[in-house]
Structure 1
Amino acid sequence: MNYNRFIFAFLFLFFSCISLAQNAFVKGVILDTEKHPVPSVNISSQGNSVQTDSNGFFEIVIPSNKKVSLIFTHVSLKTMSLTVSLKTNEVFVFNPIMNNSQEQMGEVFVSSGNRKRVQGIATIDTETIKKIPGANAGIENVLKTLPGVNSNNELSTQYMVRGGNYDENLVYVNEVEVYRPFLIRSGQQEGLSFTNTDLVQNVDFSAGGFQAKFGDKLSSVLDITYRKPTQFGASFEASFLGGSASVDLVSKNKKWSAVTGVRYRNNSLLVNSQDTQTNYTPTFADVQTNINYDISEKWQMSFLGNISQNKYLYQPLTRETKFGTIDQPMALAVYYQGQEKDQYDTYFGALKTTYKVSPSLTLKLIGSLFHTTEKEHFDILAQYRLGNVNAEDPENPSAIDFTRGIGSQLNHARNDLDALIANIELKGTKEWKESQLEFGLKYTRESIRDRVVEWEMIDSAGFSLNPPLVILPENNQPYTPYTGPLLPYQDIRAANFNTINRFSGYAQWNQQSEIGSSRIWYHLGARFQSWSVSGALEEGKNQTVVSPRAQFAIKPDWDRDMVFRISGGLYHQPPFYRELRDLDGVVNPNVKAQEAVHVVLGNDYNFKMWNRPFKWVTEVYYKSLSDVNVYSIDNVRIRYVANNNAKAYAQGLDFRLNGEFVPGTESWVSFGYMKTEENYENKGYIARPTDQRLKFAMLFQDYMPNIPSVKVYLNLVYNTGLPGGAPSYTDPYLYQNRLNDYRRADIGFAKVFVDSSTQNTKTSWLKNFKELAVGLEVFNLFNNQNAITNTWVRDVYSKNQYAIPNYMTSRVFNVKINARL
């Protein structure tokens, strides 16, 4: 590597691999000026040509990731041209009108990114997602490098966006909303994200101010499209963390196509790097399929299915955590008995049919069913010893030489949940010359059966500790006898059988026009949702909310390529089941929808540096929230107060610079500042659990210039500490702790034996592969100790409590192999 590149890589501290050039697709219906389909139009591009059929329909394959010109010719109509630049496997729909009065040459340039650019949507390349290393590699791993997206848990796929929590993010796959398990309380239990990276074609993400056509959440939208294969293909990946395989199938007549993926994951490699020594036997596996059938040129059907089973068997043995200061080093030694047995089985199916009623009207009918059965059973006895460490002992520097406290803690849970969620939705799109109307109507039925039984007993120095929130006689054992009742330190017991019926819908108007020589875009719309909860101790009342939203973008006729945006509106989040359940596990059916006013100002600036394309994105945002349902976060478990007695705000500034720092690759640098506070029952404003002030991230891709087949990539994230780690019963207005900063760097190296650039030089044993690479990954490169929560231990002598950090994973090495046929 030459000197300049070495310096640049040192400054940015992360690398990656080259995106592989593949194909994209342009299709549509050609009409004449009287809106009649035009058959026998010849569409040509770089030696490839097709003709429209009797209905005016065409589809042509073009190279991706480059500017391509298409020429439209007809014996009786004037010639027309179109210039496009599309991502790999992207499908661009183009429905032009050809006339016989003038030629339309060189006037149209369409990039798929242009539309998303004016909407404030970030598009993530699928090849980047597959290559970037991470303890939980995939879409969420890359999302966490974007500005405004925060997480301090590498074992979890959950993320927080601009002050919101994990429950405030919408996730769609093929326009179908997907769900995550209910009872998950730690990242290491999650296993697999719903999204299978091997099946993905497009990934779009909006961090706020999104349009009315998206659902009723407060923070973000992740919109994923699975690919529709055009030819046979297969891929597989294997590593120390598990493996995956996928296959693309296409029928001879091209009417049927299917992409299917199978995944398996085992987190033992990561969990064994933590302080707690365990017998750990996880099994995370799923199978997904996306089947497409073209009934005719106007009518298509598809099926998306997923079956997932997560078994989590956990038997802790011992734990030793060192903490304290240089002057007073301390250690906590814990010895465990018992085990935890959790299982999460989920089944998901969605049937979607699309019918093109006319060239300007398209209707879609989507039905989906989600079923999950979850159980969380554990009995774990932890006996601890807290004391001072003799760091000067060379033979055993972590040995406790003076015991400050001893005690026991017994945790018990028998939590079971069965949830069935059914959806049916009608969506439509009506197009005019420069305008578009989108609309939809949806019905959802949620049936929840839930049993919560969990308690905790704490014993210190031979006597049981009373619960902190219950007034009981003073316990001053062993000096005086205790006459009060023996109660669990914490105790939650509830049984809920609830049904939630929801009706929702939206209408949105999209318009393009011009002001002078500047191009402008409008997106105006509104959503509504009406719902009621039954089956609780008291019957819930019917509630309705309406959410108007708007976006405006302008591209001035300047020499510099800039787009300015303003978006926002009124956003509501009607309560899901978790938000209805209070701290005692009891459902309050009349919890109101949380409400937020969003205002987002943005600017996109495309420019060239070193004669390569770059983009600088800036966004300023403010959210004013009312009817807030306050909550606490323990690892990834969220517990709500369920009373809407708070108000809050979030404000911040995000920057992102992305482009080809190295020719042929895309990399980016992100920076974000965010502040969010809440005011509960007019007690005053304090930091919310998601108040992560500063965020800095880099994702960089490179290759060795003298050995271009060796790729290097690194994913780096720095977040300031979150409020958290305080005991769960603590009043945050009296005591609020903040965790240490989160710092993590994951680096990967890959030797590429086959890709698109080596196909002409392949040896005989490699000729069957389209891609083949072997890699080495190092997770947590600098071995930073990041804490997710604290364990609180009493010192019986001083009556003090010590916060013992629960550290995440340390440095871990992983080897993996990727192949595609």
Structure 2
Amino acid sequence: MIQLKPITLFLLLLWASGLHGQTASVLGTILDENNEPIPNVNITAANLGTVSDESGNYVLELTADIPNTITFSHIGHSNVILENLILTTNETFEFNPVMKTGAIQIAGVDVSATGKKSIEGITTIPPEIVRKIPGTNAGVENILKLLPGVSFNNELSTQYNVRGGNFDENLVYVNGIEVYRSFLIRSAQQEGLSFVNSDMISDLQFSPGGFQAKYGDKLSSVLDITYKTPTSFELRADASLLGASGSLETISKNKKITTISGVRYRNNGLFLNSLQTQGNFNPRFFDVQSLLTYRFSEKFHLNFLRTFSINDYTNEPLTRQTNFGTLNDPRALLVYYQGRERNKFTNTLGALKADLFPNDHVKLEFIASTFHTQEQEFSDVIASYELGEVDTNLGSETLGEVVNPRGIGSQFNRARNQLDALIFNVSHNGKIAKNESVLEWGVKFTHEDINDRFRESEFIDSAGYIVRPPNSGLVNNEPEEPFTADILPFESVQAINDTKTNRLSGFLQYSKHTKLGEHDVYYNLGVRAQHWVLKGEVFEKNAQTVFSPRGQFSIKPNWERDMLFRLAIGSYQQPPFYRELRDSQGNINPNVEAQKSIHYVLGSEYSFTLWERPFTLISEAYYKDMTNVNPYTVEDVRIRYAAQNNATAYALGFDFRLTGAFVPGTQSWVSLGYLKTEENWDDRGNISRPTDQRLKFAVLFQDYVPSIPNVKLYLNLVYNTGVPGGSPNYADPYNFQNRLRDYRRADMGISYIFADEKNKHPKGHWLHRFKEFSVGFEIFNMFNNQNSITNTWVRDVDTQQQFAVPNYLTGRILNVKFGVRF
């Protein structure tokens, strides 16, 4: 195992160089009003310039880290002007102008060191950072967890909590299409791949709260992903010890048809073998996605998105020893397993989207999508365990072994869970933009058909005797009277649920950019509404309606300092989805109402120059007042709701992020966040919510060796204070408020770039055919911190007392990878 000392990291962080005069690139394809490429277009920026080729393609190098104005000019067409573009060194910005015969077109791209300056409170992250930054689950979620206010400490999971919410409260869109995740997954080991394929991303926007009415009915956040529109043929392939991925981009000769496809395979066996539970793991995850676009004309585009994924998780656990407790009272759990666990999750999504552009001011969208998931959890695992003290006597022959056992017993866990869900959506969105005003509207119909077979049981054995469930009402007078009652599980849940939900939702919002004296002002007012009808075979249908008004106000003062201030206030109501309706016994409560939250968000954005490079400091303070709360418990990534609106809650905090070119030619940031969130069940008093993670500190850092600039360093560091350790099953959380230890993790990647946009090779060279070629390695959890985010609850079979045994996460892992792009 590699030993990496802290001094090594310190030296790596000192690689920052003082290089100046670096460049960035703008590239794309120039088309006319008939969607035909325009050759020989003059593209100029200050004293720099180039011309487009026969296919309308161009590449222009700019001076980095300063404002640039680019002019596109051609005989017979009006100029296109791109203003105020600031790129970091070696950054590539894609811009595909359409040149018309009308008036001069000015495309103001108000860009700072971190990307688009956002008056809407939206964080924009360059896709290249998503693809390069190392992480156990590298991709979009890996980057989100480095933002303030976003947390989840299980590195094998792609789920995340935002500002005190759980991961059922986050909206995710891909090209305007809402995407869903599997229902039955209970362990991060079973999750596999994120829905979002990072190789296919062209734009990523994220809001942790206070978002606009157009984004939907969830309580916490929205992630808005846009997949690429290819401008040329491109083939990408990546491989590592964890799996492989590939993507293909194509475009027809007439530029009317484009396709982008991605395929991924992953096996997490490398990580699972570092866990304390030893066994035969076979976690296989596979998915394929494709987006096809056909441009019938400039005014009509048709898109088809198709995805298919399968997670096949097989586990035959063998042994486990976990040491826990304190120095004065060390304890250990020693477990021997028999049996196996087999889980399979198959998801498909198909979506058809039509984009209409009747004129320059109007855009209309029509979307139809179908999501289908088939899931099964089959498990039969017998765990014979010994719970006792640990021998810490250095001279003892039993050093480190369990002595003085407090409990010896076994548990038999059985699950036969099956779920089939079909979700159909049809929607229309419209937008009219004219004279600094934007009117947007949308309407959506959703049909959800859920068929759930829920069967779980747990038997507890003590010295050969099955422990009966509490309060069973049976009297055992052996040996005077024979005991002939049936063997009953200590805990058992059986339910068959078939539910259908029809939802009709819509929004209307108006945005305006105006002046207040010499200051720029933006405001947005909107409202959402949703009406839904829940039907089932064992209960009468139930109908409910909610309304959610929201507003935003931003002002950019005409000051010498580049400042922007934002205020957002809105109502966010989350109508219950299937899992929120199911209680501890698996039964559906049709009377569960929408959870409600009022968001108050006050933010600022300050852009400035430091070391002759651009930086931005983003700050936000927020408060969320929640009512009609449906409380829940968390075990790993499995959320179990009470299916009651019997709680109130609040969340408050502060988020700070400093981002910019700490090293010339790179973008890095430092995040700091404070959060406090509590809930009150049935007026019993406030307790910490399962997501109450008080302090968050994270660093995303990129660097290179000054003398060998092709050697790149990518680093992410995360420190989170501990969250409540949870409670067993549906136990009363008021009795379980102990916190887990703090979470510390550092992942590092080092790559050598043989070829990319800045390292082209002449014909005849073996690297000439590559647009990009890199080889490198990654060290995950390089300081080998022993982190935990959940507990295993083990009963002392004599007293029935439950002990919280930490589930430790992955240790230090070395991964080797390479990537090519043609």
Q: Say yes or no: TM over 0.5.
A: yes
What are the residue-to-residue correspondences of 1:36-115 with 2, within 5 Å? 44-45=43-44, 47-48=49-50, 67-71=67-71, 81-85=81-85, 88=92, 90-91=94-95, 110-111=110-111
What are the residue-to-residue correspondences of 1:357-506 with 2, within 5 Å? 357-391=358-392, 392-393=394-395, 397-468=399-470, 470=471, 472=473, 486-506=487-507
Give the deviation of 1:652 after TM superposition. Answer: 0.5
In structure 2, the residue matched to 1:601 is 602
Q: Supply the AA of the counterpart residue of 1:130.
A: R
Q: Supply the AA of the counterpart residue of 1:494.
A: A
Give the deviation of 1:22 after TM superposition. Answer: 5.2
Q: Supply the AA of the counterpart residue of 1:668.
A: W
Deviating more after overlay: 399-408 vs 330-339: 399-408
What are the residue-to-residue correspondences of 1:9-24 with 2, within 5 Å? 10=10, 23-24=26-27
Give the deviation of 1:764 after TM superposition. Answer: 2.0
Give the deviation of 1:590 after TM superposition. Answer: 2.3
Where does the alignment leave 5 or more consecutive residues of structure 2 unmatched? 1-5
Cα deviation, 1:308-337, whole Å, max 9, x if unaligned, reads: 111111110111111233333332211111
Deviating more after overlay: 760-769 vs 583-592: 760-769
The reply to whether residue 571 of structure 1 matches residue 572 of structure 2 is yes
In structure 2, the residue matched to 1:3 is none
Q: TM-score, normalised to structure 1's length? A: 0.91
Distance 2:514 2:40 in 1: 28
Q: Supply the AA of the counterpart residue of 1:298.
A: K
- 1:540 and 1:812, CA in 2 relative to 1: closer, same or farther beyond 3 A? same
Confirm or deny: 8 A CA contact 1:791 1:805 kept in the other structure: yes
- 1:434 and 1:765, CA in 2 relative to 1: closer, same or farther beyond 3 A? same
Q: Which secondary structure does the structure 2 equivalent of 1:751 belong to? A: strand
Q: TM-score, normalised to structure 2's length? A: 0.91
Q: Supply the AA of the counterpart residue of 2:69.
A: S
Confirm or deny: 8 A CA contact 2:788 2:807 kept in the other structure: yes
Confirm or deny: 8 A CA contact 2:140 2:198 kept in the other structure: yes
Distance 1:723 1:478 in 2: 45
- 1:89 and 1:374, CA in 2 relative to 1: closer, same or farther beyond 3 A? farther
Q: Which secondary structure does the structure 2 equivalent of 1:188 belong to? A: helix
- 1:609 and 1:675, CA in 2 relative to 1: closer, same or farther beyond 3 A? same
Confirm or deny: 8 A CA contact 2:563 2:604 kept in the other structure: yes
- 1:213 and 1:413, CA in 2 relative to 1: closer, same or farther beyond 3 A? same
- 1:781 and 1:481, CA in 2 relative to 1: closer, same or farther beyond 3 A? farther
- 1:504 and 1:49, CA in 2 relative to 1: closer, same or farther beyond 3 A? farther
Deviating more after overlay: 575-584 vs 62-71: 62-71
Q: Which secondary structure does the structure 2 equivalent of 1:774 belong to? A: strand
Confirm or deny: 8 A CA contact 2:175 2:225 kept in the other structure: yes
Q: Which secondary structure does the structure 2 equivalent of 1:141 belong to? A: helix
In structure 1, the residue matched to 2:3 is none
Give the deviation of 1:689 after TM superposition. Answer: 1.0
- 1:26 and 1:405, CA in 2 relative to 1: closer, same or farther beyond 3 A? same
Q: Supply the AA of the counterpart residue of 2:418.
A: D
Q: Supply the AA of the counterpart residue of 1:10.
A: F
- 1:748 and 1:482, CA in 2 relative to 1: closer, same or farther beyond 3 A? farther
Distance 1:432 1:348 in 2: 35
What are the residue-to-residue correspondences of 1:168-567 with 2, within 5 Å? 168-391=169-392, 392-393=394-395, 397-468=399-470, 470=471, 472=473, 486-567=487-568
Cα deviation, 1:550-584, whole Å, max 9, x if unaligned, reads: 11100001111000000121111111111111111
Deviating more after overlay: 771-780 vs 599-608: 771-780
- 1:510 and 1:398, CA in 2 relative to 1: closer, same or farther beyond 3 A? same
Give the deviation of 1:417 after TM superposition. Answer: 0.5
Q: Which secondary structure does the structure 1 equivalent of 2:590 belong to? A: coil
Deviating more after overlay: 68-77 vs 312-321: 68-77
Cα deviation, 1:632-673, whole Å, max 9, x if unaligned, reads: 111000111112111111111000011111111001111111
Give the deviation of 1:178 after TM superposition. Answer: 0.3
Q: Which secondary structure does the structure 1 equivalent of 2:158 belong to? A: coil
- 1:7 and 1:486, CA in 2 relative to 1: closer, same or farther beyond 3 A? closer
Confirm or deny: 8 A CA contact 1:650 1:674 kept in the other structure: yes
Distance 2:105 2:424 in 1: 48
Distance 2:382 2:16 in 1: 45
Q: Supply the AA of the counterpart residue of 2:427.
A: E
Q: Supply the AA of the counterpart residue of 2:197.
A: N
Confirm or deny: 8 A CA contact 1:28 1:59 kept in the other structure: no
Confirm or deny: 8 A CA contact 1:497 1:535 kept in the other structure: yes
Distance 1:20 1:426 in 2: 42
In structure 2, the residue matched to 1:124 is 125
Give the deviation of 1:428 after TM superposition. Answer: 0.9
Confirm or deny: 8 A CA contact 2:343 2:377 kept in the other structure: yes
Cα deviation, 1:694-745, whole Å, max 9, x if unaligned, reads: 1111111111122222112211111111112432243122332221111111
Over the matched positions of the two proteins, sequence identity in percent amounts to: 51
Distance 1:115 1:776 in 2: 32
Cα deviation, 1:220-242, whole Å, max 9, x if unaligned, reads: 01000100111111111111111
Cα deviation, 1:425-447, whole Å, max 9, x if unaligned, reads: 11111111111111111111111
Distance 1:150 1:475 in 2: 50
Distance 1:763 1:476 in 2: 91
- 1:801 and 1:446, CA in 2 relative to 1: closer, same or farther beyond 3 A? closer
Distance 1:14 1:746 in 2: 17
Q: Which secondary structure does the structure 1 equivalent of 2:118 belong to? A: helix
The reply to whether residue 672 of structure 1 matches residue 673 of structure 2 is yes
Distance 2:773 2:105 in 1: 44
Distance 2:16 2:479 in 1: 62
Q: Which secondary structure does the structure 1 equivalent of 2:214 belong to? A: coil
Distance 2:528 2:799 in 1: 58
Distance 1:279 1:8 in 2: 35
Deviating more after overlay: 116-125 vs 342-351: 116-125
Confirm or deny: 8 A CA contact 1:405 1:797 kept in the other structure: yes
Distance 1:774 1:478 in 2: 73
Where does the alignment leave 5 or more consecutive residues of structure 1 unmatched? 1-5, 31-38, 52-57
Give the deviation of 1:167 after TM superposition. Answer: 0.3
Confirm or deny: 8 A CA contact 2:726 2:736 kept in the other structure: no
The reply to whether residue 141 of structure 1 matches residue 142 of structure 2 is yes
Q: Supply the AA of the counterpart residue of 1:529.
A: Q
Deviating more after overlay: 783-792 vs 437-446: 783-792
- 1:476 and 1:457, CA in 2 relative to 1: closer, same or farther beyond 3 A? farther
- 1:631 and 1:189, CA in 2 relative to 1: closer, same or farther beyond 3 A? same
Confirm or deny: 8 A CA contact 2:80 2:99 kept in the other structure: no
Give the deviation of 1:253 after TM superposition. Answer: 1.1
In structure 2, the residue matched to 1:612 is 613
Q: CA RMSD in A?
A: 3.3
Distance 1:616 1:481 in 2: 76
Cα deviation, 1:68-105, whole Å, max 9, x if unaligned, reads: 43336698999784425277464577899966xxx999
Confirm or deny: 8 A CA contact 1:15 1:714 kept in the other structure: no
Confirm or deny: 8 A CA contact 2:649 2:677 kept in the other structure: yes
